[in-house]
Each structure stands twice: as C-alpha cells, then as structure tokens.
C-alpha cells in the first residue's frame, strides 16, 4: 500500500546517524555517495562480512550493530532480497526505521509481513524503487494523467556480464534473474500509467544451467483495450536499451535511459532531478519526519505473476 501511515508522531530529521547494511557494488556505487550528499543523514556504521567503508565502524551482523549502537535509529539494507527479510525483521523489531533496496523482498507476502511489523512498532518502512526517481518519470506521469493510452512498449535490454559480473546470487532461486533490472521498468510503468494493468501472458527463457530467467516477454492488459508489451533481455551486446514508449490518442511519449530522458512527440523535454538514489534518501527523510511508510509491492506482484503464468523455455547455458 503506497503511502500508508506508520503510526506515531513525525519528527524533524537533522543529519541523523544511519547504518548501511550490505556493502556490495550497489552500496558503493549508489548508496554511499547518496548518503554523503544528504542533509538528513550521515553514515555512522556499516554491517558487512566482506569489508566495510574506510573511516566508518563496521559490524559483522545486525545483532552486533543493534547491541553496539542503540543510538542509531535508521538503517538502509542493500543485501540481496533472500537474506534481507530476517535482517529487516530484526531491525524493525528493535524500533529502527528501515529502507529496503529493490526489490523489497523475495516474496510479496514477506514484504506485507514487514509492513505489518513496522505499523505495530510505529516506525517507517520504505520499499524503494529507484527508477521512479529518474529525472523524466514525474513529468511523464503528469503528462499521462488524463491521456487516453492505446499501447505501451517496454524494451529493457542489457548485457548481464557488464552490469552484474560474478553475482551468482542473481542466478539462484529468489535472485530474479533478468527481472532484477526488468522490475525497474515495471516500477516506472506502475508509476506513470494512470490506471492499473494486469499480466495476461509471459514467456520466460531460462539458461539450461540457471534457476532464474535470462530473458522474458510479457503482455499486460488494461482498461479500454490498453495493451502493454514488455521485452526484457540480458543478452544484449553493443548499445544498451532501457526504453518505454507510450502511444496515446494525442501522440507519443518516450522515456529512454531508464527514465532519465523524456521525449514528447519527438521533442526532448527539459527535466531535472537530484538523482535517483539521492531522491530515495530525500524521500526516506520525508517519510520519517511525517511518521509514514511507503510500501508499494505492485512491481514485485507483476514479477510474481510472470513466474505463475509464464511459459518456460530452456535456452543455451550461461557462463559468466
């Protein structure tokens, strides 16, 4: 449920100490720089078994962090979704405000359980979708609010060896495979379309030696005959493509570069933003101040539907 109240009174944040858990590629590339730019938070501690951050105290697990630093009331979780649930439960049970890297969980049900615990403890839970903070997304949503949409084409094609080198967890059950980037497209789709859509067909291509798909073709249906076609592929070589094209009765809207660039009827639009991950931490601070949570599971539900409804095909084995 998007924007659900977390209970309790809001409070003004003034550079609150925050702990970052899971110091991998996404933490180093995005979270640490975003926190460094934030006026609301300063990085005070990390939890990592493979190395922390220079100049910041590090702990081996969530229990050690909670015992050593009861003064830290805010945590951001960056580890893969399968091990994240128990850590999030421990943090919420201890009364911490929790931010979840996308996808918010390995299953929809566990995210709902986290949401219930956050509500019971009166703390903020923020299930993030970083692509919704891409520069062109808010403008696209506003433009489409009253539009008559006839067709949407999503093309999300990238080279897994370039973007996820050596990340075996992503090929294991619960790792999502090509839906790890594809869910970013679904998070934009669910943000900009004025009416919901539902999955009607899917084909999932699994490498012979992997538990998660390397490609997926999806079809969604909406009101008044709306159709959405989505193609996700991790085998793209050369130029990478993260594009959403929306046809309306009044013209065409196109988001490219993962939502960063917006064209309307072929004309480049001027859009601005503070950046995807800085935008997440700004939103997290707003939610804590307001005493609210933001837990929208709709992109994850679409992925779950794809695994439920999808026709499985086997393709060539993948070797990193």
Residues 122 and 254 in one domain: no
Q: Is residue 6 part of a domain?
A: no
Q: Is residue 10 part of a domain?
A: no
Residues 107 and 152 in one domain: no
Alpha-carbon distance of 160 to 261, in angstroms, equals 22
Half-sphere exposure (Cβ direction) of 140: Cα atoms closer than 13 Å: 34
Range of the domain at 111: 16-131+277-293
Residues 202 and 285 in one domain: no
Residues 113 and 162 in one domain: no
Please tell me the predicted confidence (pLDDT) of residue 50. 83
Q: Is residue 1 part of a domain?
A: no
Q: What is the CATH number of the domain that holds 215?
A: 3.30.360.10
Residues 117 and 39 in one domain: yes
Query: Quick one: DSSP state of residue 159?
Result: B
Query: Which residues are within 8 A (CB) of 54 and not within 5 positions of it... i.e. 6 or more apart?
Result: none
Residues 196 and 263 in one domain: yes
Residues 289 and 244 in one domain: no
Residues 309 and 183 in one domain: yes
Q: Is residue 9 part of a domain?
A: no
14 is catalytic: no
Per-residue pLDDT of the chain (320 residues; tens, 9 = 90+): 333 444 333 444 469 999 999 999 999 999 999 999 999 999 999 999 888 899 999 999 999 999 999 999 999 999 999 999 999 999 999 999 999 999 999 999 999 999 999 999 999 999 999 999 999 999 999 999 999 999 999 999 999 999 999 899 999 999 999 999 999 999 999 999 999 999 999 999 999 999 999 999 999 999 999 999 999 999 999 999 999 999 999 999 999 999 999 999 999 999 988 999 999 999 999 999 999 999 999 999 999 999 999 999 999 999 98
Residues 177 and 262 in one domain: yes
Residues 146 and 33 in one domain: no
Count of domains forming the chain = 2
Q: Is residue 179 part of a domain?
A: yes
Residues 201 and 311 in one domain: yes
Residues 161 and 246 in one domain: yes
- β-pairing, 215-221 vs 149-157, is unpaired
Phi, psi of 188 (to 5 degrees): -70, -45
Alpha-carbon distance of 92 to 120, in angstroms, equals 9
Q: What is the CATH number of the domain that holds 78?
A: 3.40.50.720
Q: Is residue 5 part of a domain?
A: no
Task: Judge whether 212 and 176 are in contact, CB under 8 Å.
Answer: yes
Q: Is residue 2 part of a domain?
A: no
* From 14, 25, 102, 121, active-site residue: 102
Please tell me the predicted confidence (pLDDT) of residue 6. 40
Q: Is residue 90 part of a domain?
A: yes
């Amino acid at each position: 449920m998007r924007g659900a109240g977390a209970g309790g009174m809001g409070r003004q944040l003034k550079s609150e100490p925050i702990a970052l858990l899971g110091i991998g590629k996404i933490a180093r590339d995005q979270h640490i720089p975003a926190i460094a730019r934030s006026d609301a938070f300063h990085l005070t501690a990390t939890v990592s078994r493979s190395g922390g951050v220079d100049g910041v105290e590090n702990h081996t697990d969530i229990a050690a962090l909670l015992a050593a630093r009861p003064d830290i009331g805010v945590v951001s979780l960056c580890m893969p979704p399968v091990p994240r649930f128990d850590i999030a439960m421990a943090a919420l049970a201890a009364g911490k405000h929790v931010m979840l890297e996308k996808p918010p969980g390995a299953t929809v049900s566990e995210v709902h359980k986290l949401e219930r615990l956050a509500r019971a403890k009166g703390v903020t839970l923020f299930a993030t979708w970083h692509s919704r903070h891409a520069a062109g997304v808010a403008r696209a949503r506003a433009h489409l609010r009253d539009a008559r949409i006839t067709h949407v084409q999503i093309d999300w094609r990238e080279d897994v060896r370039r973007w996820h080198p050596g990340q075996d967890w992503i090929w294991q059950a619960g790792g999502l495979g090509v839906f790890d980037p594809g869910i970013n497209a679904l998070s934009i789709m669910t943000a900009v379309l004025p009416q919901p859509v539902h999955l009607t067909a899917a084909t999932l291509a699994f490498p012979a030696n992997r538990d998660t798909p390397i490609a997926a073709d999806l079809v969604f249906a909406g009101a008044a005959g709306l159709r959405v076609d989505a193609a996700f592929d991790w085998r793209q070589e050369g130029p990478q493509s993260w594009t959403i094209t929306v046809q309306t009765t009044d013209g065409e809207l196109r988001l490219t570069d993962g939502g960063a660039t917006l064209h309307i009827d072929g004309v480049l639009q001027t859009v601005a933003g503070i950046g995807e991950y800085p935008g997440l931490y700004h939103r997290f601070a707003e939610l804590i101040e307001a005493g609210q949570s933001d837990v929208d599971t709709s992109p994850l539900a679409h992925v779950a539907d794809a695994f439920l409804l999808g026709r499985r095909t086997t393709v060539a084995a993948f070797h990193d």
